[in-house]
Amino acid sequence: MVKTLPNRAGCGLRGLQHKNSRPRWRAQEVVRYITTSAVTQQPALDLPIPRHEKVLPLEHIGRKRRLEALKEAKPFSEFSEFLTDNYQRQHDYLRISITERCNLRCLYCMPEEGVSLSPPAHLLTTPEIFYLSSLFVSQGVTKIRLTGGEPTVRRDILPLMRQIGSLRSKGLREIALTTNGLLLHRKLDAMVEAGLTGVNMSLDTLDPFQFQIMTRRKGFDAVMRSIDRILEMNKLGAGIKLKINCVVMRGMNEREIIPFVEMGREKDIEVRFIEYMPFGGNKWSKGKMLSYKEMLDMIRQKYPDIHRVQGHKNDTSKTFKVPGFVGRIGFITSMTEDFCGSCNRLRITGDGNLKVCLHGNAEVSLRDMLRESNDGNPIDDEAFEALKQVEMDRNQGRLAEGTTLGWGERERKLLDIIGTAVKRKKEKHAGMGELENMENRPMILIGG
**pLDDT tens track for 115-146:** 789 999 999 999 999 999 999 999 999 999 99
Looking at the chain, the number of H-run helices and the number of E-run strands are 15, 14
Q: How confident is the model at residue 53 (pLDDT cuts 50, 70, 90)?
A: very low
Do 149 and 236 reside in the same domain of the chain? yes
Task: Please spell the DSSP secondary structure of 5-20, one letter per residue.
Answer: EE-TTS-EE--GGGTT
Cβ atoms within 10 Å of 319's Cβ, excluding its own: 16
Contacts of residue 282, defined as CB under 8 A and 6 or more positions apart, other chains included, come to: 107, 108, 109, 110, 111, 442, 443
CB-based contacts of 104, cutoff 8 Å, min separation 6: 150, 180, 182, 215, 216, 217, 219
Q: CA dist 25 to 19, 29, 49, Å?
A: 17, 6, 21
List, in sequence order, every beta strand (DSSP E) within 57-159: 93-97, 143-147
Torsions phi, psi of 383, nearest 5? -65, -35
417 domain-assigned: no
Q: Of the given ranges (36-40, 172-176, 220-224, 297-301), which has the lowest mean pLDDT? A: 36-40
- Residues 54 and 150 placed together within one structural domain of the fold: no
The helix (run of H) or strand (run of E) holding residue 189 is helix 184-194
- The enclosing H or E element of 199 equals strand 198-202
**Domain limits at 29?**
24-74
Res 436 pLDDT > 70? no
The mean predicted confidence, pLDDT, of the chain is 81
Residues 151 and 189 in one domain: yes
The H or E element spanning position 307 is strand 307-308
Q: Are residues 42 and 152 in the same domain?
A: no
- If asked whether residues 52 and 98 sit together in one domain, one would say no
CA gyration radius, the chain: 23
Average pLDDT over residues 225-246: 97
Residue 303 placed within a domain: yes
CB 402 within 8 A of CB 50: yes
Same domain (yes/no): 57, 127 = no
Residues 50 and 192 in one domain: no
Residue 3 is predicted with a pLDDT of 43
Cα 277 to Cα 74: distance, rounded to the nearest angstrom = 38
Q: What distance in Å separates the CA atoms of residue 284 and residue 274, rounded to the nearest whole number?
A: 14
Q: Note the residue count of the chain.
A: 448
Q: What is the pLDDT of residue 437?
A: 54
pLDDT given at position 34: 27
HEC per residue, 230-288 = HHHHHHCCCCCEEEEEEEEECCCCHHHHHHHHHCCCCCCCEEEEEECCCCCCCCCCHHH
| Residue 151 pLDDT > 90 | yes
Q: How confident is the model at residue 49 (pLDDT cuts 50, 70, 90)?
A: very low
211 shares a domain with 349? yes
Asked if residue 190 and residue 52 are part of one domain, the reply reads no
User: What is d(CA 128, CA 381) in angstroms, rounded to the nearest whole number?
Assistant: 9
86 falls within a domain: no
170 alpha carbon, distance to own chain's centre: 17
Banded model confidence at residue 58, pLDDT cuts 50, 70, 90 = very low
Residues 55 and 100 in one domain: no
Distance, in Å, from the CA atom of 57 to the CA atom of 132, rounded to the nearest integer, reads 31
Residue 388, domain member (yes or no): no
Indicate the residue among 13, 48, 74 that finishes a domain: 74
DSSP 80: P
Quote the CA–CA distance of 447 and 441 in Å, as a whole number: 10
- CA 341, 346, 349: angle at the middle one, nearest 5? 140
* 223 has pLDDT over 70: yes
Q: What is the pLDDT of residues 77-106, one digit of tens each?
A: 457 899 999 999 999 999 999 999 999 888
Question: Alpha carbon 306 to chain centroid distance?
Answer: 29
- pLDDT of res. 52: 34
Q: How confident is the model at residue 278 (pLDDT cuts 50, 70, 90)?
A: low
Q: Are 266 and 221 in contact (CB under 8 A)?
A: no
> In this structure, are 30 and 157 located in the same domain?
no
pLDDT of 38 reads 32
How far apart (Å, rounded) are the C-alpha atoms in residues 348 and 178? 14
- The DSSP code for 110 is S
Residue 230's CATH number: 3.20.20.70
**Residue 366 counted as domain residue:** no
Given this model, what pLDDT does residue 297 score? 97
Residue 142: predicted pLDDT = 97
For residue 444, the model assigns a pLDDT of 63
pLDDT at 21 over 70: no
pLDDT in tens, 304-355: 999 999 888 888 899 999 999 999 999 999 888 877 888 999 999 999 999 9
Write down the pTM of the prediction: 0.80
CB 271 within 8 A of CB 261: yes
Residue 42 — very low, low, confident or very high, per pLDDT cuts 50/70/90? very low
Q: Which residues contact 22 (CB under 8 A, 6 or more apart)?
A: 173
pLDDT at residue 59 in the model:
35
Residue 417 has pLDDT above 80, yes or no: yes
Contact status, residue 276 vs residue 247, Cβ threshold 8 Å: yes
419: in domain: no
Question: Which pLDDT tens digit goes with each residue over 371-396?
Answer: 998 999 999 999 999 999 988 888 77
In a domain, 69, yes or no: yes
pLDDT of 439 over the 70 cut: no
pLDDT of residue 125: 98
Q: What is the pLDDT of residue 362?
A: 85
> In terms of pLDDT, which residue wins out, 57 or 231?
231
Asked if residue 163 has pLDDT above 70, the reply is yes
By the 8 A CB rule, do 202 and 245 touch? yes
- Does 179 score more than 70 pLDDT? yes
Q: Is the confidence at residue 178, as pLDDT, over 60?
A: yes
Question: At 391, which helix (H) or strand (E)?
Answer: helix 381-394
DSSP E strands, 92-136: 93-97
Number of domains in the chain: 2
Q: What pLDDT score does 14 carry?
A: 40
17 band by pLDDT with thresholds 50, 70 and 90 = very low
DSSP-assigned states of every residue in 44-60: PPSS---TTSSB--GGG
- Does 387 fall in a domain? no
Does residue 81 contact residue 29 with C-beta atoms inside 8 Å?
no
65/128 same-domain check: no
| pLDDT winner (highest mean) among 338-342, 362-366, 438-442 | 362-366
3-state secondary structure of 364: strand
Count of CB atoms situated within 10 Å of the CB of 298: 17
Mean pLDDT on 191-195? 97
Residue 97 to residue 87: CA distance in whole angstroms = 26
pLDDT for 54 beyond 60: no
- Which pLDDT score, from 0 to 100, does residue 74 have? 37
Measured between alpha carbons, how far is 75 from 62 in angstroms, rounded to an integer? Answer: 22
pLDDT of 28 reads 34
pLDDT at res. 423: 96
